[in-house]
Amino acid sequence: MYRKTFNRNTQSGGRSRFAPRKRFERKGAPIHISKLVCKAVITEEAEHFTPEHSFSDFKIDERLKRIVIAKGYSAPTPIQDRTIPHILHGLDVVGIANTGTGKTAAFLLPLINKVLLNPKENVLIMAPTRELAIQIEEELKSFTKELKIFSVCCVGGANIGRQIADLRYHNNFIIGTPGRLKDLIQRKVLSLAGFNTVVLDEADRMLDMGFINDMRFMMAQMPAKRHTLFFSATISKEIEGLIKEFLNEPVRISVKTQDTSKNVDQDVVKVQKGNNKIDVLSQLLAQSDFSKVLIFGRTKHGVERLSRDLASKGFKVDSIHGDKNHSRRQKALSLFKSHHVNILVATDVAARGLDIAGVSHVINYDMPATYEDYVHRIGRTGRGDKKGKALTFIE
C-alpha cells in the first residue's frame, strides 16, 4: 500500500516532483521529501550508554531515593546522568536532548531535593502546551506524594477560578504555560518575586509559538540572581540569544545524537490522482498492526473533520486540537492512553513533550511545516527500545 522505496529524481534526471512547496515553509528549515524515507536501523548489538552514576550515587534525600527505586528507575538516562549533578550544585544548565530522553525527571529530581532541603523554596516551570505542563505535574506528583510538597498547574483552557484558589496556598512548584501565567501575574494573584528557580522546558517550541515576550515578562518578574534551567531539542540563533539573555555562565549538556530515532521506520504514502485520501488512510488503519495510531493534521478544523469521518467508518477515534476545551482534550488523551480508542488525530499541539506509551504508528496526514516539526511528530513512536513506524502522505 505504501511505498517501500523512493527515487528523489525524475526519470529525466531533473528535480524531484515532490520538491518542497512554498506553502509548507515557515520559520525553520523546510522539508525535503527525501528526509521522509528512512528504514529503522536494526543491528545485532545496540549502542550502549554506560552512566557515570547510579541513582543511589546522587546526593539527594534518602526518601526521594527510595521513591525513585520504588518507581522502577534503575540507571539514569544520559541526560539525567549528566545534568543532575550540575543542578544539585546550583549551576545554570542548558540541556539539549531528543524527545523521550527522560529530561523531565532530570530536572524534577534535583529540584525536589532542593525543596526538601529548603521547604520555602519556590520553583517555576514553564512549558509551551497545557498537555506538557499537566504531564510534568503528574510526574512531579508521582515523586512527591509522600513528601508534603505541593504544586499547582496553571494552564489556559482550565478553570482559572480554581487555579486562583489554589494559588492562595503555598505551592513549592508552579507549573504552567506562559499565557496563563502572565494572566495570573497581571491579576496580581501570582507574584514571582520569591521564585529563585525557573525551568524553561521545550524552549524552542515556546519560541516557535510566539511566547518570547511572555517569557521575557516573567523572567523580569523574578530575582536577577536565580537558578535557571533551559531545555530544548534544537539550538538556533534565536535560542542562543535567549540563553545569553536568561542564563548565567551555564553548563551545556548535549545528548542529542541524531535527528530521528533509529527505531522508527519512515516511509511515504503516495496518493495517486483519482484516489480518495481518506480511503487510502482507512485501508491502512484496517490492518492489524496499526494498533495504536497517532495521526497529525495541519489545522484544527481539518483534524476534527478527519476524526468525524474516521468515526463514521467505524474506527475508534478521538481528537485533540486548540478548539477543544481543556477537559475534552484531557479526556481524549486519557482514552487514547488507556486503549479505549486506538486512533488519535491531532494538530502539532501534541507533537512535543507528550509521553504516550505504545504508539505503533505516526501518520502525517498533512505535511508538517518544517523538518523540526516532523522530527517531533514521529518521536511519539519508537520510544525506548521499541520499534515504530512513521508514514507521510504525499499527493
* Tens-place pLDDT, residues 43-101: 333 345 677 888 888 999 999 999 999 998 878 989 999 999 999 999 999 999 866 77
Q: pLDDT by residue (tens digit) across 376-393?
A: 888 888 876 678 999 999
Least confident of 8-17, 180-189, 228-237, 265-274: 8-17
Mean pLDDT in residue range 123-144: 94
Q: Best-predicted range by mean pLDDT among 29-38, 304-313, 378-387?
A: 304-313
Q: Which amino acid is at 183?
A: D
Q: Are 101 and 77 in contact (CB under 8 A)?
A: yes
* Residue owning grid cell 496556598: 169
* Better pLDDT: 351 or 102: 102
Read out DSSP for 147-196? Answer: TT--EEEE-TTS-HHHHHHHTTS--SEEEE-HHHHHHHHHTTS---TT--
Q: pLDDT by residue (tens digit) across 161-203?
A: 999 999 999 999 999 999 999 999 999 999 999 999 999 999 9
What is the predicted pLDDT for the residue at 40?
57
- Phi and psi at 150, nearest 5°, equal -115, 155
Decide if pLDDT at 14 tops 50: no
Q: How would residue 37 be classed by pLDDT, with cut points 50, 70 and 90?
A: confident
CA gap 89, 110 in Å, rounded: 9
Decide if pLDDT at 117 tops 90: yes
What percent of the chain clears pLDDT 90, i.e. is strictly above it? Answer: 58
* Residue owning grid cell 484496517: 286
Q: How many residues does the chain have?
A: 395
Domains along the sequence of the chain with CATH: 22-38+260-394 (3.40.50.300), 62-254 (3.40.50.300)
Q: Are 326 and 337 in contact (CB under 8 A)?
A: no
Q: Which residues contact 250 (CB under 8 A, 6 or more apart)?
A: 91, 92, 93, 94, 228, 230, 243
What is the predicted pLDDT for the residue at 44?
30
* Better pLDDT: 349 or 185: 185
Q: Which residues contact 149 (CB under 8 A, 6 or more apart)?
A: 112, 115, 116, 140, 172, 173
User: Of 309, 303, 352, 362, whose CA–CA distance to 332 is shortest?
Assistant: 303
| Half-sphere exposure for 246 (CA within 13 Å, toward CB) | 30
Q: Which residues contact 116 (CB under 8 A, 6 or more apart)?
A: 61, 63, 64, 147, 149
Cell numbers of 267, please? 516511509
Task: Look up the pTM and report it.
Answer: 0.73
Q: Are 390 and 264 in contact (CB under 8 A)?
A: yes
CA gap 112, 117 in Å, rounded: 9
Cell numbers of 373, please? 516539526
Cell numbers of 108, please? 524534577
What is the predicted pLDDT for the residue at 385?
67
Mean pLDDT in residue range 127-135: 91
Q: Which residues contact 261 (CB under 8 A, 6 or more apart)?
A: 98, 378, 379, 382, 383, 388
- Phi and psi at 174, nearest 5°, equal -110, 120
Mean pLDDT in residue range 356-367: 92
Decide if pLDDT at 39 tops 80: no
* Residue owning grid cell 499547582: 152
